Structures are given as C-alpha cells and as structure tokens.
C-alpha cells in the first residue's frame, strides 16, 4: 500500500470528497489513484492548497515531506490530520 504521487485534483460529489492522484514522475507508480477523505473540511476550497503537492506513505500514513497530513483507513480512505502548514507557503 505504498504511495508516491502528486495530488492533481479534488473531486467533490454529494456522497464523497476525494483527492485525485497521479504518479510523481514517469518512472514511478502512484500506488493509489484516489483517496476518499472521511473527515473533509467544511470549506472544501481549503483543499485546493494540496493540488500540486507530492505525497508519499505506507499503510498507515500519508505524508508531505516529513509532515503527516493524514492517517490511512484501509486501502482507499484517509482521515486528514492537518493541512494548516500549507496555507503559510
């Protein structure tokens, strides 16, 4: 359940809020093309700060650099911890 990807979008439907991923570069596999966020923020616009960021992780976490941004829940869901640090960029 390894992840090495770039976030390329946010998909919002009436049933789910998801991060869309693609491989970080042509030599890697993303590992997972989409993650459903089980605890999306009330204002989905705040997720736009994630677009373009490279993420990585294993079975238990999703990281940007050395900062854990989410806990993985099974194969295709995540629980966000915090993305506030990205707003300061």
Q: How many domains does the chain have?
A: 1
pLDDT at 45: 86
CB-CB contact of 55 with 21 (8 Å): yes
Q: Which range of residues forms the domain containing residue 58?
A: 3-87
Cα separation, 71 vs 80, in Å, equals: 7
Q: pTM of this prediction?
A: 0.86
Residue 80 has pLDDT above 80, yes or no: yes
Residue 12 has pLDDT above 60, yes or no: yes
Banded model confidence at residue 82, pLDDT cuts 50, 70, 90? confident
Query: Each residue of 16-75: pLDDT tens digit?
Result: 999 999 998 877 666 788 999 999 988 888 899 999 999 999 999 999 999 999 999 998
- HEC-encoded secondary structure of 10-44: EEECCCCEEEEEEECCCCCCCCCCEEEECCCCCCH
Cα separation, 83 vs 68, in Å, equals: 9
């Amino acid at each position: 359940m390894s992840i090495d990807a770039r976030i390329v979008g946010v998909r919002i439907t009436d049933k789910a809020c998801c991060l869309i991923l693609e491989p970080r570069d042509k030599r890697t596999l993303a590992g997972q093309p989409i993650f459903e966020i089980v605890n999306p923020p009330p204002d989905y616009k705040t997720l736009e700060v994630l677009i373009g960021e490279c993420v990585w992780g294993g079975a238990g976490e999703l990281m940007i650099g050395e900062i854990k941004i989410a806990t993985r829940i099974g194969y295709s869901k995540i629980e966000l911890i915090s993305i506030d640090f990205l707003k300061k960029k």
